[in-house]
Amino acid sequence: MVFSSAVFLFLFLPVVILLHTVIKNNKIRNGLLIAASLIFYAYGEPVYVALLIGSVAVNYVFGRILSVRKSKALLAASIVINIGLLVVFKYTGFIVQIINFIPVCNFKVPDITMPIGISFYTFQAISYIVDVYRKEEREDVGFFDVLLYISLFPQLIAGPIVKFNSIKDSIKSRNVTLDGLAHGIRKFIIGLSKKMLLANSFAYVADSVFSMNTSAIDMRLAWLGAVCYTLQIFFDFSGYSDMALGLGSMMGFDFPQNFNYPYTACSVRDFWRRWHMSLTSWFREYLYIPLGGNRRGPGRKILNTMIVFICTGIWHGANFTFLIWGILHGVFMCIETIVTKDKKDAGKHFNALAYIYTMLVVIIGFVIFRADSTGYAFSYIGRMFSFTSLSSSFTVFMGFLTPVFIVTAIAGIIACTPVVPYISAAVKDRKLRTFLNGLSYVAVGAILVLCIMGLAADSYNPFIYFRF
């Protein structure tokens, strides 16, 4: 089940929110959310519900033991089990493909269906275990608390990756308020519109271009496809995150922000402060710092940075394209670390040349990320910088530039910037602020109507990050 499906929007969500609001007993509320989350997951992955519950049970047992006995061996065993689960379901085929590069090897590549959301809930499980080991969690955490934390449906499938510490108080006791409901509904609809009205529109162009043979693509079409995919993945993923945050707000949970206008960054370093912030935070806290962070000299800092970004790339998928994407960002992060040493605010202030450089890295990186193979990726990038003009490609290029697409592109570019928040913050008159706030809810209502029309037109596309 996905947030932008009719079943979720018109049946599952209203029933769950209504019952959760009416019920006042927190334990019953938690039971409702656990049942709803398992139904939500079973709708798309009925076979793997047992795997999810089993993962929670194993991590709960390790957590109970580690809460009374601080053992590095037990901590290592729990992490190995979690990573092993991820390796078996996500990377077995990829590992076999690598082994088959050896001339004497010709193993059959297993076809293993990856459980939806396994990358996200495995990372949450690891963070819980590590925090228990560090004594950041109490000993009185119950099994159903951990089950709710890991399986909670708003963030189960594609994040944000939430620390238990950030929502444990809400699990124990939370208030559902009208303000929280109103804010959550508004946030959810904005996220839905990012997916339905923007991401899906850009996806049509990006998918069309990336399905073409690179020999039929010239510079104009290559850049159009690359930019459209860059916009698509942002609105697709940030839209899902906004919906998750909105759902959390409706039910009294405060999830961490996952995006902060990443396409306004003027350095790759600042981009990663703004893009998929919960994943960046997880790698910093549970990998980069344990490796030594920046405390062991510049050489070790660069090595640790590269390890983190290699892992970031691999986390996204079992393909050399994701690995190269991670390495690309890691290399530029290291270069910036060397060049901007002692400049803590580097990349935070707007600079035209720095912005162009950053967006070039981001866009080219996403071409590699989107491509089915490394060969196609590098061939596509070559077309982006080839001045050969193809009349057939120009015809396709102009065919995409419809009035609707141009309006959508302008709206998308504006939505990538904090223009609206800046304007809102600049308004000081109380009456005008009240009027604009009311007007914003009218606009959100109109957006919801457009989204429903999109559903009726069967313009659904799955979220990109469901694959990870």
189 and 108 share one domain: no
CA 303 to chain centre: 25
130 and 185 share one domain: no
What are 327-362's pLDDT values in tens digits?
Answer: 999 999 999 998 886 566 655 667 899 999 999 999
What are 30-62's pLDDT values in tens digits?
Answer: 999 999 999 999 987 788 999 999 999 999 999
Token pair, residue 391, equals 């009349």
CB 192 within 8 A of CB 239: yes
Q: What pLDDT score was predicted for residue 277?
A: 96
In-domain check, residue 465 = no
The Cα–Cα gap between 412 and 94 comes to: 36
Lowest mean pLDDT among 135-139, 186-190, 302-306: 135-139
In-domain check, residue 468 = no
266 and 311 share one domain: yes
> Sorting pLDDT into bands at 50, 70 and 90, what band is 365?
very high
Q: How is 257-305 classified by DSSP, letter by letter?
A: P--S-GGG-SSHHHHHHHSSHHHHHHHIIIIITTTTTTTT-HHHHHHHH
283 and 387 share one domain: yes
What are 194-232's pLDDT values in tens digits?
Answer: 999 999 999 999 999 999 999 999 999 999 999 999 999
In-domain check, residue 1 = no
Q: What pLDDT score was predicted for residue 341?
A: 67
Domain around 113: 6-174
Q: Please identify which of the residues 183, 316, 329, 349 carries the catalytic annotation.
A: 316
In-domain check, residue 463 = no
Q: What pLDDT score was predicted for residue 170?
A: 93
In-domain check, residue 462 = no
The Cα–Cα gap between 260 and 418 comes to: 9
Token pair, residue 133, equals 């080991």
Q: How many separate domains does the chain show?
A: 2
What are 124-167's pLDDT values in tens digits?
Answer: 999 999 999 998 766 678 999 999 999 999 999 888 999 999 99
Q: What number of H helices and E strands is found in the chain?
A: 23, 0
Lowest mean pLDDT among 78-92, 187-201, 232-246, 347-361: 347-361
316 and 423 share one domain: yes
Q: What pLDDT score was predicted for residue 106?
A: 86
Pick the last residue of a domain from 141, 174, 207. 174
**Average pLDDT score over the chain:** 91
Pick the last residue of a domain from 174, 201, 220. 174
61 and 111 share one domain: yes
110 and 211 share one domain: no
Q: What's the chain's length in residues?
A: 468
155 and 187 share one domain: no
Amino acid at 437: N
pLDDT (average), residues 300-310: 95
> Sorting pLDDT into bands at 50, 70 and 90, what band is 434?
confident
In-domain check, residue 85 = yes
pLDDT greater than 90 at residue 80: yes
**What angle is formed at CA 244 by the lines to CA 227 and CA 62, rounded to 5 degrees?**
115
Q: What pLDDT score was predicted for residue 25?
A: 93
Judged by DSSP in three states, 36 sits in: helix
User: Any catalytic annotation for residue 20?
Assistant: no
112 and 33 share one domain: yes
208 and 165 share one domain: no
Q: What pLDDT score was predicted for residue 239?
A: 95
Pick the last residue of a domain from 140, 174, 208. 174
CB 33 within 8 A of CB 20: yes
- pTM for the complete prediction? 0.92
pLDDT (average), residues 97-124: 89
58 and 202 share one domain: no
82 and 196 share one domain: no
In-domain check, residue 276 = yes
Q: Which of 360, 390, 368, 353 is nearest to 313 (CA)?
A: 368
Q: Which of 103, 83, 107, 104 is nearest to 94 (CA)?
A: 107
In-domain check, residue 467 = no
